[in-house]
Structure 1
């Protein structure tokens, strides 16, 4: 609480306390008795009474109690002033009505608070990397004006970066078309599997993939178009290069013959790794709904669509120990894989975090020329959205 506000209100309190009659005091009379008290910080307190008798009656008032009461009134006035446009407010209180049992309670207290806010005018001019900032602050009470001129410097780098980031976000938010680059990192799994016929034993055998060894990676170039300026619906398409690893569970490997691809047991050789790797060029297409908050910041995304793709490469790789040496055998070939793939996909994103899932609707291998199974890929997307 500022001393000037407190002392000014004190004067008003003592003035009302000195009045003996119920009618408000009219300062027009010229023969009133007056006491002028000068306080620090160029603050003065004036006590006006009709006669000396009223001045002597001031001793009946307990100034400490009055000060406590006055402090509460000033706090209320300051709170009300902070909500006004210019910070100024006048409030009247009637302690005698609030406490009729008190003989010394003032009849009326008027508190006027003039806000101490400053009026600020700011101008910023930017020319390339150079800039000038002019700030003008004017105090309402004293009329004093403070002007500062500052050249743009490194101290404002953080502010500039935040401002530029906001501008980029606003520009991208209002764009109707654009493009993004993303990377999918995930895992592969085989579904709808059927047992294969073991060429050695002639019996049907089940097969599966190692969960964390069968990795999926794709590089995505995504071009999108918005349905309208304020529409949450986006249409997107774009090429992607996908790398799939299918690592077999157990001591087995993929073996290619002229007619089909089989899964064969390693026998005396123990495979540390045994996988089939493919490279596909895909074209995803779909729609995305983007939900925003009241500040128009994107908070969630839901996408769905499909894809078609073409296999551009495949090879197998096995790693094993034999005769005290580590062997890595890598063989390229078609392995009777389907050349074309097609399927559906979906995405779910919250702010900068996205999940994806892809389901290949056709089999991994050509019909009757390899194990029967379909591929599901799932994981996390990292992108510049």
Structure 2
């Protein structure tokens, strides 16, 4: 590999120098010369004049190629540990060993493994004006860029990584949309009253909606992926019954009973609004993966509750709405968690205490789950 590269460069030097003598190259624009090597390797020379080509042998390209192997290995290891999907590393061989004719600067930009294609870009600055770029693409795709383009990309990569590392706190608007289920139902759910029935919730109508703010504070150093998340949320829970059952609050007891008057209900639901404060530990990884995992608890206070009946009689649609406590527990507390990848995030919340007061209603806990649409 080293001999092929060196021989190709020397042959190219003679041809380019002869061509340059035949026609004067303008001092300001740059010429790009591409050398195609085995294994789909491309070597690109960016020069301003023939004099720069004549200086090429003094840089000992065979030694340069040997050094690049070690540099690329180090840069690849740094990319796998970085929080971004693209990392640029700079080396200065001439400063480490002056007088050896080594390159003034070596800049390597590499991507993490795992994508459809992985590209290592190596940009070697032999002096302030003479650039040598070696590009390796597993798919054989050609890509050309000037020394200035690579420097700008390196500056953007460094600035983006610095922002990710220095941002210790942030605030996000969240919006959750999901479903409710009642679990762990007990026998005393209807307190033994005749006509009562266990709740059978309509899946599509028993919705959970929540929106609020999420304050995140980094825990640990500036590269720590661990955050403490807290914030107020307003939550709305619907418990819609299947069939012709309705929620009934009678004699200090709340139960579900079958309508026997002949009226057919289109919707019968119990709804609550709650102010909730979650507290979670959250793991956030930045960069291409951007994986999120959170776990913690919540406590909430019931703001309002009501029942709603929708039915059709004599050509008219009726909607009866009745506000009341319905023997619901004012305070709800429990566990919650989130898991997400890029823009997709799932949530789940489980209440540890019953939905209704002890002995005054159905003894069951609420399980809510769904998608976080904003985060």
- Residue 244 of structure 2 aligns with which residue? 251
> What CA distance in whole angstroms lies between the structure 2 residues aligned with 1:81 and 1:259?
83
Q: 1:81 to 1:375 in 2, by over 3 A?
A: closer
SS at match of 1:82: strand
Q: CA deviation at 1:41?
A: 9.8
Q: CA deviation at 1:291?
A: 2.7
Q: CA deviation at 1:383?
A: 2.3
- Residue 202 of structure 2 aligns with which residue? 210
Q: 1:39 to 1:324 in 2, by over 3 A?
A: closer
Matches within 5 A, 1:257-336: 257-267=250-260, 268-292=262-286, 296-297=287-288, 299-336=290-327
Q: Report runs of 4+ in structure 1 exceeding 6 Å deviation.
A: 38-41, 83-87, 137-140, 163-169
TM-score, length-scaled by structure 2: 0.59
- Residue 235 of structure 2 aligns with which residue? 242
Q: CA deviation at 1:181?
A: 1.1
Q: CA deviation at 1:173?
A: 4.8
Matches within 5 A, 1:1-385: 42=22, 82=43, 88=56, 171=163, 173-195=165-187, 196-197=189-190, 202=194, 205-228=197-220, 229-267=222-260, 268-292=262-286, 296-297=287-288, 299-384=290-375
> What CA distance in whole angstroms lies between the structure 2 residues aligned with 1:337 and 1:244?
12
Q: CA deviation at 1:363?
A: 0.6
Query: Aligned residues, how many?
Result: 256
- Relative contact order, CA 8 A, sep 6+: which one is greater? 2
> What CA distance in whole angstroms lies between the structure 2 residues aligned with 1:262 and 1:81?
76
Unaligned runs of 5+ in 1: 12-37, 44-73, 92-136, 141-162
> What CA distance in whole angstroms lies between the structure 2 residues aligned with 1:175 and 1:166?
14
Unaligned runs of 5+ in 2: 1-10, 24-34, 47-51, 62-127, 132-154
Q: 1:75 to 1:360 in 2, by over 3 A?
A: closer
How much is the aligned-residue C-alpha RMSD, in angstroms?
4.1
> What CA distance in whole angstroms lies between the structure 1 residues aligned with 2:359 and 2:201?
20
Q: CA deviation at 1:254?
A: 0.6
Q: 1:139 to 1:374 in 2, by over 3 A?
A: closer
* Residues 16-50 of structure 1: CA deviation (Å, up to 9, x unaligned): xxxxxxxxxxxxxxxxxxxxxx999938xxxxxxx
> What CA distance in whole angstroms lies between the structure 1 residues aligned with 2:166 and 2:19?
61
Q: 1:282 to 1:165 in 2, by over 3 A?
A: farther
Q: 1:265 to 1:204 in 2, by over 3 A?
A: closer
Kindly name which structure, 1 or 2, has the bigger radius of gyration based on alpha carbons: 1
Q: CA deviation at 1:258?
A: 4.0
Q: Any conservation in 2 of the 1:198–1:205 contact (CA below 8 Å)?
A: no
TM-score, length-scaled by structure 1: 0.57
